[in-house]
Amino acid sequence: MIWSSVGFTLIDALWGFLSCCFLVAFGAYRISPQLPREYEQSRLYVLFQDLIRYGKTKQNLKRDDWLRVFDVPKRWFCHFYAISVCWNGFLLVLYLSMIFQHQLHPLWLTGVLDILTGVPSNDSQVPHLSTLLVLLLLWVHSLRRLLECLFVSVFSDGAMHLVQYVFGVGYYILLGLTVLCTDRMKREIGPFLYQLNWCHVVGSALFVLASLLQHQSMVLLARLRIGRSGTVETLAHRIPKGGWFELVSCPHYFAELLIYISLSLVFGGLCLTWWLVALYVLFNQALAAQLCHDLYLSKYESYPRHRRAFLPFVL
């Protein structure tokens, strides 16, 4: 929805709920060191840690063997982006068909959007340039991340929970639907190309800069395991250096947040639904970054104490 619109839709409620869940998880993690020692032996604590950790932050977690049954390889992260490229590429093609061939969305997709937005479909709806740009940028982002997973990143034998894997798949499907939900609730009028404004330019520019930052960070992480010959020499974790790693432990997570903020700007900066998406990304990435940051601090005595976990000079 747009802030000037009336009502709080199901899609808004979904993203608001997810944001609250990760905010609570982040808060619970931050206060867990203050709890009594015997609490760390409880099944609830172990299950909570098992669900929020993955990769290197999960390797030293003490848990029962039955919990390991639900582990899947962290390298399966590439599945998320492969699904996103296919699904959001499909939605992009549908939207282009609506713009240039005046074809309506399939009935099943229209029905889903009706449920998520509570706004009935309008056969005479004007296509929105911002929606097309966000779908395109989202597809480009997913394609870049897929290529990085396949050709840049060097994955260890780290694991993630099956619940995290299923959630990740559903996340990228819901993300594309959210773009179309936002399109359904926009009220812009006028010729398609004449809708171009400064928000589209600034948002797209921020998207490019944030993407470059994230790519640089992924390359620096990969180089920690690759020798001068270009072959993988180790799967061990080392202290990342260079670039924005001198400011924060996880600049790639910070870049992810900037990417979603850039998409909010492309939507005009007044789209409540997409700001709820960005809020979810903030809490989700903050939790992941804090886990990594705390691991670095506990594992390396020489780790720079001035670095923040996620947001430069803040968190």
Q: Answer for the pair 302, 238: CB distance below 8 angstroms, yes or no.
A: no
Q: What are 15's two structure tokens?
A: 């993203």
* pLDDT values of the chain reduced to their tens digit, one per residue, 315 residues: 443 344 578 999 999 999 999 999 999 998 887 777 777 778 888 888 889 988 888 877 888 888 888 989 888 889 999 999 999 999 999 999 988 888 888 999 999 999 998 877 765 566 788 999 999 999 999 999 999 999 887 777 888 999 999 999 999 999 999 999 988 776 656 666 778 788 999 999 999 999 999 999 999 988 887 766 667 666 677 888 888 999 999 999 999 999 999 999 999 888 899 999 999 999 999 999 999 999 999 888 888 988 999 898 887
Domain count of the fold of the chain: 1
d(CA 20, CA 132): 29
Q: What is the dihedral of CA 223, 226, 232, 237, to 10 degrees?
A: -60
d(CA 175, CA 84): 9
Range of 63's domain? 10-299
Within a domain: 5: no
Within a domain: 315: no
The residue behind tokens 């886990």 is 291
Of the candidates 126, 109, 145, 230, the residue with the CA atom closest to the CA atom of residue 186: 126
Within a domain: 64: yes
pLDDT, position 125 = 65
Within a domain: 306: no
Q: What are 280's two structure tokens?
A: 């979810």
| Residue ranges in 64-161 assigned as alpha helix (H) | 65-68, 77-100, 107-117, 129-151
Of the candidates 171, 187, 45, the residue with the CA atom closest to the CA atom of residue 130: 187
d(CA 163, CA 52): 10
Q: What secondary structure letter does DSSP report for 170?
A: H
Within a domain: 304: no
- What pTM was estimated for this model as a whole? 0.91
Within a domain: 109: yes
Name beta bridge partners: 226: 232
pLDDT, position 182 = 87
pLDDT, position 289 = 94
Phi, psi of 232, deg, nearest 5: -70, 125
Residues 6+ apart with CB under 8 A from 22: 280, 283, 284, 286, 287
Within a domain: 28: yes
pLDDT, position 61 = 81
Within a domain: 311: no
